[in-house]
Amino acid sequence: MKKLVILSGAGISAESGISTFRDAGGLWDKYPVMQVASIEGYEADPELVINFYNERRKQLLDVKPNQGHMLCAELEKYFDVTVVTQNVDNLHERAGSHNIIHLHGELTKVCSSYNPNNPKYIKELRPEEFEVKMGDKAGDGSQLRPFIVWFGEDVPRIADAAYEAEKADIFVIIGTSMNVYPAAGLLNYVPYNSDIYLIDPKDVHIETDRKITHIKKGASEGMKELMRMIAGV
């Protein structure tokens, strides 16, 4: 069975109604990025940051996976699929994908403020527990913080993602500007004879000499076309 790796970004979840960060009208327009997505912002005003992610979690309760997510999961019938996502939502999981690497953390989890990547203190929140309050403690006594990779922090799963990219017979980029590193660098790990597809309704500038088949559609329509091209369905 051929290995297929999907690199997904905010564009796939935008169709479900989740605000993107970078587009006009996105979350970065409403909040200074370093205020809510950096360790410095968190240390300066932890309550503001915790409440920002409480709101993101609350929004997640009201949205559903879209057809783009569903078709990523359906590809598992035809290929050995790994989804590498820059998104922190759980829509790939809810759509039925099984092998998912979250590069930038997971919105439904919280962790230690002292040691965010210590698995002993990472906790999955049930939907009814979406609200974290100041004073809620991790097992090591520190404030529970969002299990999110903020600017300036290491991306602990990038090595896992690179390992998967190295095995890809087919590499699919969907809904990402390819501006965010180290995720954008994963293309450099894909074998030279592999097929590469880009699903995005807009032009995306990618620094590469690789042949990329651009499906100029949104996530759901683009995934339908990809299914026809590579799985014949």
Residues labelled as active-site residues: 104
Instruction: Tell me how crowded residue 15 is: count the other CB atoms within 10 A of its CB.
Output: 19
Question: Would you call 153 exposed, middle or buried from its count of C-beta atoms within 10 A (0-12, 13-18, 19+)?
Answer: middle
In the block, residue with structure tokens 């922090």:
153
Determine contact, residues 134/108, Cβ cutoff 8 Å.
no
Residue 173: closest CA among 138, 216, 134, 136: 216
Amino acid at 150: W
What's the Cα-to-Cα distance from 79 to each of 67, 85, 166, 171, 215, rounded to whole Å?
Answer: 18, 18, 16, 12, 20
Alpha carbon distance 49, 35 (integer Å): 7
Residue with tokens 């327009």, as numbered in its chain: 29
